[in-house]
Amino acid sequence: MNPKVKIGDRVMLVYMEDELDLSTKDKGTVTSVTRDPFETDECYIIGVDWDEGSSLSLLSCRDVYRVIKDTIKEQAEDYGISKDEAQIDFLIQNRDLRKNFNRDLIFNYLNKLRESGVVNMYESPKFLYSGRDWIDRYHGENPPNQEAFEEVLEMADNVKSELINGVLKSINDLEGDYNDEYFRNLERLVFKAANRFATFWMLFY
């Protein structure tokens, strides 16, 4: 628990006191590491871009976290299974991604995003739900592949709409009285769907 981290590492939250926006097992990507001026030299403030959309920092001497392996190969090795088994397990647990979403549209978009060179693909989920204006504002200056980036911009709003519509379809598939609760957490479910689709793309393509 609480090993030293560097920018780009993936972490999973184990415990954070009095925090309602995050919960145990939430995952995120480290964006900064600075010494905590209010603690000892061995304490750090760790900036994290959480998959759920939060940007709360970790305090290494107060919160509890661990570094996780996010590549499919590493995950499979951790569980002692092959990549093929990991693929099958993913498909079983995420049937709605094939049923309720335009997979070809989203995968083509992720392919173009990779070609554009503007982001590490482990950070790609936010590009699925942020839309054209956000992408152009924060990544539009001198992209490595201008042609691919223009295609990303053209597709961005359609992909965002497709992601939201797919989540709504998945909610409607639920039986019982769970629908209202899920609708109240729509934004959180969209974030999760984006992360699942990024994993889907990396796992198979």
Q: State the Cα torsion 31-33-39-41 to the nearest 10°.
A: 170
Give the model confidence (pLDDT) of 151-167 as tens digits: 999 999 999 999 999 99
pLDDT at 97: 92
Strands 64-68 and 10-15: antiparallel
pLDDT at 39: 77
pLDDT band at residue 70 under the 50/70/90 scheme: low
pLDDT band at residue 16 under the 50/70/90 scheme: confident
Alpha carbon separation from 94 to 8, 36, 61, 103 (Å, rounded): 26, 40, 36, 12
Give the model confidence (pLDDT) of 27-61 as tens digits: 889 999 999 888 766 889 999 999 888 889 999 98
pLDDT band at residue 22 under the 50/70/90 scheme: confident
pLDDT at 176: 56
Give the model confidence (pLDDT) of 132-189 as tens digits: 999 999 999 999 999 999 999 999 999 999 999 999 998 887 765 555 666 678 888 8
pLDDT at 75: 58
* Cα 83 to Cα 73: distance, rounded to the nearest angstrom: 6
